[in-house]
Amino acid sequence: MGRLVIVSNRAPSVDGTGDSGGLVVALKDALSEQGGLWIGGAPEQTDTPSASLVFHQRPDFDIALFEMEPELYRDYYLGYSNSVLWPALHGRVDLIDVQPHYSIAYREVARRLARQIADIVTHDDVIWVHDYQLIPLAHELKALGLTSRIGFFLHIPLPDLQTFKAIPDWQDLAGWLADYDLLGLQTQRDLGHLINIFRHTLRGELRANGNMGINGREVVLGCFPISIDVQGFRRLAVEGAAQTAPAPMPRLIGVDRLDYSKGLPHRLLGYEAFLSQNTRFCSNVGLLQIAPPTRDDVDAYKAIRSELEHLAGRINGSFGTIDWTPVQYIHRSLPRDELAVLYRYSQVGLVTPLFDGMNLVAKEYVAAQDEADPGVLILSQFAGAAEEMSDALIVNPHNPQDIADAIRTALEMPLAERRQRHDALYGHLEKHDVGHWSAAFLNRLLSVEQADPEWLARVSGLESRARTG
């Protein structure tokens, strides 16, 4: 094999700051072993973007930045990626904002990026593309004649066929997905949806090995639940807690990007119901919600912020006293070591998204616990993590009563049951950390046969005819 080439919407920082957590930790080892390259969008846009990738060297791997004009970036990223695909793939078709220039920009980014990548990769390089912002990339690369193996991992959920069909370009999207050699999804739920989409849209045929025959070639499909650096995160929690005092009263914690998919208003409604039905807990428990704003320029995100502030204010106004604030709401990101300690010193972890690819907070919360006296995870049935973490208290996030009941159960749960649930959750996580995830995906990608040149010539021919026609 040649190099491992990672492609994502945003590249890691050139100086290594901000590497902690996330994808970089997951892929660093594989990248430095294989002599790797990470290609991603430049952190700043420019009116005079370079026509080729801009290279930077780090000690562990190289970075190649893709530059874009501000308007192109806005229409591709805030527009198509986050005002069409993100809501649609999270089942919020009511929030889709369809604008013709969004989808033009989305295709243009993939086309330009493919040209720049094709200039620097070779047949032996293995390319791993990440997430919904770059779905057409394999199609564009193959249209340029590239024969490298190309895998794709979708970090967010894939909805059922009917929801998928609400995206105006759904047939194109299905076709672009089928151009990858390996498609990785977070859960069996999403894999089932993908199979159905391929069957319906491209007459895909499921083979005995679980892959799909589409247009005369085999697309390899797999479920690869992403995880965290379990040992590393646990260490942060243990070391941090040794230097910090525990919270003065039992605490519930929520940590989420401020996003409508995370079910934050529903969570607060559940907490409100819990307080009103269990008044003995008033003044004896607190909810700490950490939710830094993201994608502020998209209207749906402004709305969720004001809704949440309104609800937190209402609960604090109704239940709070001079000495007790029921909801503490923090609007910014915290360093990971602080977060790890906050999880460890919280008796309940509230992870209640309405729809989520995986949700790493659920895994971080479990990894951070003290195994001798662990807290309880309350987890939405619609988080991808629920497929693996059935020893959490699983709730329907749409039902505030379900959340209220689970909070009471968690706070009253005997130590023996808490330990038994935590042992099961932690035991699974320990064996399925983020290293396991990246190795599983890459091994599968390396086992895929390289592109059939005849098929490629056909696709490229069609593509060039379509462009000139």
Residues annotated as catalytic are 155, 356
If one asks whether residue 220 binds ligand ADQ (CB under 6 A), the answer comes out as no
If one asks whether residue 334 binds ligand ADQ (CB under 6 A), the answer comes out as yes
The identity of residue 61, as a single letter, is F
Nearer to ligand ADQ, 202 or 287 (CB): 287
**DSSP label at residue 410:** H
Closest contact distance (angstroms) between CB of 38 and ligand ADQ is 16
Strand, helix or coil at 253? strand
Tokens (6 digits) for 286 = 């607190």
- Which of 219, 360, 376, 378 binds ligand ADQ (CB under 6 A)? It is 360
If one asks whether residue 255 binds ligand ADQ (CB under 6 A), the answer comes out as yes
Q: 84 burial class (0-12, 13-18, 19+ CB within 10 angstroms)?
A: buried
> Looking at 91-99, 249-257, 390-398, 415-423, which segment touches ligand ADQ (CB under 6 A)?
249-257
Gap between the Cα atoms of 24 and 394, Å rounded: 30
Nearer to ligand ADQ, 125 or 364 (CB): 364
- Which of 155, 418, 421, 436 binds ligand ADQ (CB under 6 A)? It is 155
Nearer to ligand ADQ, 130 or 422 (CB): 130
Cβ–Cβ under 8 Å, residues 3 and 446: no
Closest contact distance (angstroms) between CB of 9 and ligand ADQ is 12
- Which of 357, 374, 375, 400 binds ligand ADQ (CB under 6 A)? It is 357
Closest contact distance (angstroms) between CB of 292 and ligand ADQ is 4
Measured CA to CA in angstroms, residue 383 lies from 82, 238, 291, 334, 363 at distances of: 19, 27, 17, 23, 11
Q: 147 burial class (0-12, 13-18, 19+ CB within 10 angstroms)?
A: middle
Looking only at residues 284 through 303 of this chain, which bind ligand ADQ when binding is defined by CB under 6 A? 290, 292
Question: For residue 251, which of 167, 365, 139 has the smallest C-alpha distance?
Answer: 365
Strand, helix or coil at 227? coil
- Which of 111, 115, 200, 257 binds ligand ADQ (CB under 6 A)? It is 257
> What is the Cβ-side half-sphere exposure of residue 85, based on CA atoms within 13 angstroms?
27
**Size of interface with ligand ADQ, in residues (CB under 6 A):** 19
If one asks whether residue 156 binds ligand ADQ (CB under 6 A), the answer comes out as yes
Closest contact distance (angstroms) between CB of 319 and ligand ADQ is 24
If one asks whether residue 36 binds ligand ADQ (CB under 6 A), the answer comes out as no
Closest contact distance (angstroms) between CB of 311 and ligand ADQ is 18
- Which of 81, 83, 359, 369 binds ligand ADQ (CB under 6 A)? It is 359
Gap between the Cα atoms of 106 and 229, Å rounded: 32
Question: For residue 136, which of 102, 101, 180 has the smallest C-alpha distance?
Answer: 180
> Looking at 68-76, 161-169, 246-254, 359-367, which segment touches ligand ADQ (CB under 6 A)?
359-367
Measured CA to CA in angstroms, residue 146 lies from 106, 124, 155, 321 at distances of: 21, 10, 25, 65
Nearer to ligand ADQ, 41 or 49 (CB): 41
If one asks whether residue 364 binds ligand ADQ (CB under 6 A), the answer comes out as yes
Nearer to ligand ADQ, 219 or 358 (CB): 358
φ/ψ (deg, to 5) at 46: -145, 150
- Which of 64, 109, 361, 393 binds ligand ADQ (CB under 6 A)? It is 361
If one asks whether residue 226 binds ligand ADQ (CB under 6 A), the answer comes out as yes
Tokens (6 digits) for 21 = 């957590």
If one asks whether residue 434 binds ligand ADQ (CB under 6 A), the answer comes out as no
- Which of 32, 316, 333, 401 binds ligand ADQ (CB under 6 A)? It is 333
Closest contact distance (angstroms) between CB of 157 and ligand ADQ is 7
Q: Which residue has the tokens 């929030």?
A: 95
Closest contact distance (angstroms) between CB of 450 and ligand ADQ is 27
- Which of 67, 75, 169, 356 binds ligand ADQ (CB under 6 A)? It is 356
Nearer to ligand ADQ, 199 or 257 (CB): 257
Angle at 130 between CA 125 and CA 135, to 5 degrees: 100
Strand, helix or coil at 309? helix
Closest contact distance (angstroms) between CB of 159 and ligand ADQ is 13
Question: For residue 58, which of 102, 7, 19, 112 has the smallest C-alpha distance?
Answer: 19
Tokens (6 digits) for 233 = 């995160």
Cβ–Cβ under 8 Å, residues 226 and 434: yes
If one asks whether residue 21 binds ligand ADQ (CB under 6 A), the answer comes out as yes
Gap between the Cα atoms of 13 and 306, Å rounded: 32
Q: Name the pairing type of β-strands 393-395 and 376-380.
A: parallel
> Looking at 212-220, 254-262, 316-324, 425-433, which segment touches ligand ADQ (CB under 6 A)?
254-262
Q: What is the dihedral of CA 454, 459, 463, 466, to 10 degrees?
A: 100
Nearer to ligand ADQ, 213 or 232 (CB): 232
Binding site for ligand ADQ (CB under 6 A): 21, 155-156, 226, 255-257, 290, 292, 333-334, 339, 356-361, 364
